[in-house]
Protein backbone atom coordinates (compact mmCIF):
# COMPACT_ATOMS: atom_id res chain seq x y z
CA UNK A 1 0.00 0.00 0.00
CA UNK A 2 1.50 3.30 -1.03
CA UNK A 3 1.40 6.27 1.27
CA UNK A 4 -0.28 9.37 -0.08
CA UNK A 5 0.94 12.88 0.52
CA UNK A 6 -1.42 15.25 2.20
CA UNK A 7 -2.68 18.41 0.57
CA UNK A 8 -0.69 20.61 2.94
CA UNK A 9 2.60 19.02 1.87
CA UNK A 10 1.77 19.74 -1.77
CA UNK A 11 0.93 23.35 -0.89
CA UNK A 12 4.25 23.86 0.88
CA UNK A 13 6.19 22.45 -2.07
CA UNK A 14 4.20 24.61 -4.48
CA UNK A 15 4.79 27.79 -2.46
CA UNK A 16 8.52 27.08 -2.14
CA UNK A 17 8.93 26.36 -5.84
CA UNK A 18 6.92 29.44 -6.86
CA UNK A 19 9.00 31.64 -4.53
CA UNK A 20 12.17 30.31 -6.18
CA UNK A 21 10.81 31.05 -9.65
CA UNK A 22 9.76 34.52 -8.47
CA UNK A 23 13.30 35.31 -7.31
CA UNK A 24 14.73 34.09 -10.64
CA UNK A 25 12.35 36.31 -12.62
CA UNK A 26 13.22 39.31 -10.42
CA UNK A 27 16.93 38.71 -11.04
CA UNK A 28 16.26 38.69 -14.81
CA UNK A 29 14.37 41.99 -14.56
CA UNK A 30 17.08 43.69 -12.47
CA UNK A 31 20.04 42.32 -14.47
CA UNK A 32 21.82 45.19 -16.25
CA UNK A 33 23.71 42.86 -18.59
CA UNK A 34 20.53 41.80 -20.42
CA UNK A 35 19.90 44.35 -23.15
CA UNK A 36 16.90 42.69 -24.78
CA UNK A 37 13.63 44.40 -23.88
CA UNK A 38 11.63 41.39 -25.08
CA UNK A 39 13.21 39.14 -22.47
CA UNK A 40 12.60 41.62 -19.66
CA UNK A 41 8.99 42.35 -20.67
CA UNK A 42 8.20 38.64 -20.91
CA UNK A 43 9.79 38.17 -17.47
CA UNK A 44 7.53 40.95 -16.11
CA UNK A 45 4.43 39.34 -17.59
CA UNK A 46 5.40 35.93 -16.21
CA UNK A 47 6.14 37.44 -12.78
CA UNK A 48 2.73 39.14 -12.60
CA UNK A 49 0.96 35.96 -13.72
CA UNK A 50 2.90 33.88 -11.17
CA UNK A 51 2.07 36.31 -8.35
CA UNK A 52 -1.62 36.25 -9.24
CA UNK A 53 -1.79 32.47 -9.54
CA UNK A 54 0.03 31.65 -6.31
CA UNK A 55 -1.03 34.76 -4.35
CA UNK A 56 2.52 35.93 -3.78
CA UNK A 57 3.35 39.49 -2.79
CA UNK A 58 5.32 41.59 -5.21
CA UNK A 59 8.52 42.84 -3.57
CA UNK A 60 8.35 46.60 -3.01
CA UNK A 61 11.51 47.44 -4.97
CA UNK A 62 10.38 45.41 -7.96
CA UNK A 63 6.84 46.75 -7.85
CA UNK A 64 8.14 50.30 -8.13
CA UNK A 65 10.05 49.36 -11.29
CA UNK A 66 6.93 48.18 -13.13
CA UNK A 67 4.08 50.33 -14.47
CA UNK A 68 0.79 49.07 -13.02
CA UNK A 69 -1.22 49.80 -16.15
CA UNK A 70 0.92 48.75 -19.13
CA UNK A 71 3.39 46.42 -17.30
CA UNK A 72 6.40 48.21 -18.82
CA UNK A 73 9.71 48.36 -16.99
CA UNK A 74 10.21 51.96 -15.93
CA UNK A 75 13.56 53.46 -16.79
CA UNK A 76 14.87 56.91 -17.66
CA UNK A 77 13.67 56.64 -21.27
CA UNK A 78 9.97 55.95 -20.72
CA UNK A 79 9.41 57.55 -17.30
CA UNK A 80 9.32 61.05 -15.85
CA UNK A 81 9.93 61.42 -12.10
CA UNK A 82 9.07 64.61 -10.20
CA UNK A 83 9.01 65.54 -6.53
CA UNK A 84 6.32 68.00 -5.50
CA UNK A 85 5.61 68.94 -1.88
CA UNK A 86 7.40 65.83 -0.63
CA UNK A 87 5.42 63.53 -2.89
CA UNK A 88 7.06 61.36 -5.57
CA UNK A 89 5.16 61.58 -8.87
CA UNK A 90 6.07 58.90 -11.45
CA UNK A 91 4.62 59.37 -14.94
CA UNK A 92 4.77 56.55 -17.51
CA UNK A 93 5.32 58.07 -20.95
CA UNK A 94 4.02 54.96 -22.76
CA UNK A 95 0.51 54.82 -21.27
CA UNK A 96 0.32 58.25 -19.53
CA UNK A 97 -0.34 56.58 -16.17
CA UNK A 98 0.55 58.67 -13.09
CA UNK A 99 1.54 57.19 -9.72
CA UNK A 100 1.81 59.32 -6.63
CA UNK A 101 3.87 57.95 -3.76
CA UNK A 102 4.33 59.52 -0.37
CA UNK A 103 2.34 61.74 1.92
CA UNK A 104 2.06 64.95 -0.02
CA UNK A 105 1.80 68.34 1.69
CA UNK A 106 1.59 68.43 5.47
CA UNK A 107 -1.66 70.44 5.56
CA UNK A 108 -3.36 67.65 3.61
CA UNK A 109 -2.46 64.91 6.11
CA UNK A 110 -4.92 63.77 8.74
CA UNK A 111 -4.22 64.78 12.33
CA UNK A 112 -4.67 62.37 15.22
CA UNK A 113 -7.17 63.44 17.87
CA UNK A 114 -5.69 62.05 21.07
Domain locations in the chain?
A: 1-66, 68-114
Of residues 29 and 12, more confidence is placed in 29
The whole-angstrom separation of Cα 29 and Cα 22 is 11
Which helix (H) or strand (E) element contains residue 100?
strand 98-101
Q: Is the pLDDT of residue 95 over 60?
A: yes
Q: Is the pLDDT of residue 4 over 90?
A: no
Please tell me the number of Cα atoms within 13 Å of 36 on its side-chain side: 5
Section 75-101 average pLDDT? 91
- Give the rounded percent of residues in the chain with a pLDDT score beyond 90: 58
Q: What is the pTM of this model?
A: 0.76
- Give the rounded percent of residues in the chain with a pLDDT score beyond 70: 82
Which among 112, 108, 74 is positioned nearest to 93, based on CA atoms?
74
Amino acid sequence: MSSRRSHKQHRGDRKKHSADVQSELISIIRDANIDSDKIKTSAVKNLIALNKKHRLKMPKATGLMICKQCNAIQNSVNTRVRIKHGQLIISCLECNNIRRLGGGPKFNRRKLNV
